[in-house]
Amino acid sequence: MSGCGQRLILGFDFGTRRIGVAVGNELTASARALEPLPARDGIPDWERVARLVDEWRPDLFLVGLPLNMDGTESVMSTRARKFGKRLYGRYGIPCEMADERGSTREAKSIAREAGHRGNYRDDSVDGLAAVLILEGWLADREGLPR
């Protein structure tokens, strides 16, 4: 485990077909994308998740909470919360939820600006969305501008 202010965090952008993953830490308030996890109806390959946990030894999981634009919860919010509870139940590592409104839209915009042509099945933005969720959460905790 890392010291105070240096926690390592695995962030997830929950989806039913792919789950974006990012790793970051509080000290640098930055994150980087990892390989997205394929999922079947929102259920990942738990062996792959276990390998991520073994490799990174996170102090905290952060799962993006897909709220409606008015702040209310959706069916996907319930599923993302369930995913977070399963992470905690399997690994005993605390899990927090973070408002992810607009993260996928922003990730697609960044990808377009970088020259991707919109085939998001091939040019997955899930990892980038996980980075945006994690960095936004870190900035909010540190009082940094987004």
Q: Where are the domains of the chain?
A: 8-141
For position 100, what pLDDT does the model report?
Answer: 85
pLDDT tens column, 58-82: 999 999 999 988 989 999 999 999 9
- Strand-pair category, 8-13 with 18-25: antiparallel
pTM, 2 dp = 0.84
pLDDT tens column, 90-108: 999 999 999 887 666 666 6
pLDDT tens column, 31-44: 999 999 999 999 99
CB 111 within 8 A of CB 125: yes
For position 122, what pLDDT does the model report?
Answer: 42
Whole-number Cα distances in Å, 70 to 23, 37, 62, 74, 101: 29, 29, 22, 11, 10
- 8-141 is a CATH 3.30.420.140 domain: yes
